[in-house]
Structure 1
Amino acid sequence: MKRGKKGFVCFKNDEPLKQTGNKVFEELSRVKLQELLLFDLEKLATATNNFHQSNKLGQGGFGPVYKGKLQNGQEIAVKRLSRASGQGQEEFMNEVMVISKLQHRNLVRLFGCCIEGDEKMLIYEYLPNKSLDVLIFDRSKSKLLDWRKRCDIIEGIARGLLYLHRDSRLRIIHRDLKTSNILLDEELNPKISDFGMARIFGGTEDHANTNRIVGTYGYMSPEYAMQGLFSEKSDVFSFGVLLLEIVSGRRNSSFYGDEHSLTLLGYTWAQWKEGNILSLIDSEIYEPNDHEDMLRVIHIGLLCVQELASDRPTMATVVSMLNSDVVFLPPPSQPAFILVQTVTTSELSEERQRVCSMNIISITEIRGR
């Protein structure tokens, strides 16, 4: 790292970038990254009241996130790298690299960073309504999100993903899309956050394989969770899970322990086959006039969580479907991961080594990222 002029900073990322094995990363390691405003540690400590617990917004695999207020009155969110996290070091550089190149109304905005001694932090815009999961899964708050607002949120997330996959200068797979990584601004507009796990694709590359599975079980596509294969269609699967959670107001994990061991995907499929969509809709938002629209959105969600990646639509098609530009929707087949099976981490590793059924989602006992 070296300081540039006027308080800006440039990074030299040769070592972290080589570890990725990605050709695009290697090319970018030979040039300077976009300059980011370098924040002073002392000013960030003042802004967050010395990172006081009362200002803590949340905790992720990267480390804690704090709310802060600069001297000019601007509110910020400070993501502080956990010093004990070796994995977080790589995620930090990855997130700086990815998001500094992006700009879209449905992606969280990065203001700058701080690197002093052992401290590494990312400074983002502060979004007052926190993350989507805080509202959507709280019965006392979910009523704030009526059907139209939920549709707007779903469409906003879809447009943000489309930008990552096709419309930005880079082709980016997020790999950790979930409700807690969707932040909401003062008008409840969605912004995709947390790019520590994101992967840049270059040239004609459209899929990759990894031995290091990152992300959140319940949102992972079967080919990624079981075989380490990921592509744009992996994000499409995660989007489908997220869509069904938004419509139903229930977590994909909310059915764990159910006598039939159904996931939300399994429950949705069962009710869909019976034509009983009323049981799928959050009771706080159902209106008869919206019935057909709700049916269509659930249909799109089921298409996104198909077992085979080739059967899932692209995000470009999803956006067209949501806007009704695509009138005819193909009938969905049974989605992946309709049942739950709890296994240990070692069992999951063994399971990935053999060809196995993709209709069972494996939930590890370890509560990690």
Structure 2
Amino acid sequence: MDPLSVILVGLAEREAGLTTEEVLSLGGQVDHRFRTVQQACDVLRPAGKLPRRVFIVAVPLDRDLESIRILNDHFPGEPILLLTNHGDDAAFVRDAMRAGAAQVTHAELGEDFRQAMERLSRQFGLQPRRSRVVAVIGATEGCGTTTVAVNLAVESAELAKRSTILAELGTRLGRLAVLLNFKPQMTTQELLNGPMPPPSLVRGTLTPLRDHLHVLAGPYQVLGSSIPPENQQRLVHLLRNFADLVVVDTPYTYDEEYFAILHAADEIVLMMEQKISSVHAALLLKNALEIRKIPGTLHLVVNRFQPHGPGATLSEIQELLKTSAIRCIRNQGTTVLEAANNGLPIRDQSPSAPPLEDVRALLAELLQTPELLTVAAESAPSRIGRFLHWLTH
């Protein structure tokens, strides 16, 4: 789907720059900017059968709404979002909407603006091209969140052929750069330790790792400092523009930064181990997500699962978490550990490993593409291929 087309009218230079950044972070693009409504009417034609646009208009200082009526009459069916400092004035908001404004939001951009844009997009069928954001979280330290995040991202790029970003956010000491053995151009700490950078800078800091896959790593040489939660959310929204899938490796901090990241995700993969303590922690975290009204779809995954191993059985885990919708990633000795120690995804270390099959099944669920499993089966190595792989590794 094409990016959402946005027209700016009457915004000052600074306002226009900030609004453009917000529009980009929401998957849209600013196609035109006009000083006055009359100028917009003179240059543009009504969309007709073409995709409709969103007009973002700044209210004049004299609060005259006649220009909104003119714009609404000239471009019927194309929504108008009004930026104003009078949003708390109920009578003004009522008059603005009667003049033709579909949404009225505060001139100081923030979450209110983002919610207004999202609602306009849905209300008028203008939903911009959006990638899917998957946040991988762990119930307890050592659940394998980073390993699963890495392999989800690699399989998205290699198997599904989706443009993919693997990002490490909200952490004071990153792991991706060391685990994958690369030197990032810039870390999230450097990127977010100040005003929100422009989209072009964010795109330029992504490190290509393989075809269709770029990485944004956290600080790995020094301990990072706290990053404002709103910057974390804005970065996630911004990354949506650069790939079909964004996989976020999320740390075990459980602070405001942590929940801000989760609030921006479409899908949340909650990893746990077979240990009773880990399952109990997963239950507490699951409840916390519900209390905070985190909107993303939750996927529960037991990592390194052994049907007859020590710890809780699958039925016990399902009973404790009050759901049967639990996926398992099977344990297979040292296969996954060896891959991690060699700085490799599982597919490069052991392409027929059962844990890789389970990661692919999870990816198919996240992308809502069950046919991906057919592709995986067709690309699986033959017995001879597995033997040759064993000889050369």
| TM bin (shorter chain) | under 0.3
TM-score w.r.t. the length of structure 1 is 0.25
Task: Flag the structure with larger Rg.
Answer: 2
Query: Relative contact order, CA 8 A, sep 6+: which one is greater?
Result: 2
Where is the helix percentage greater, Structure 1 or Structure 2? 2
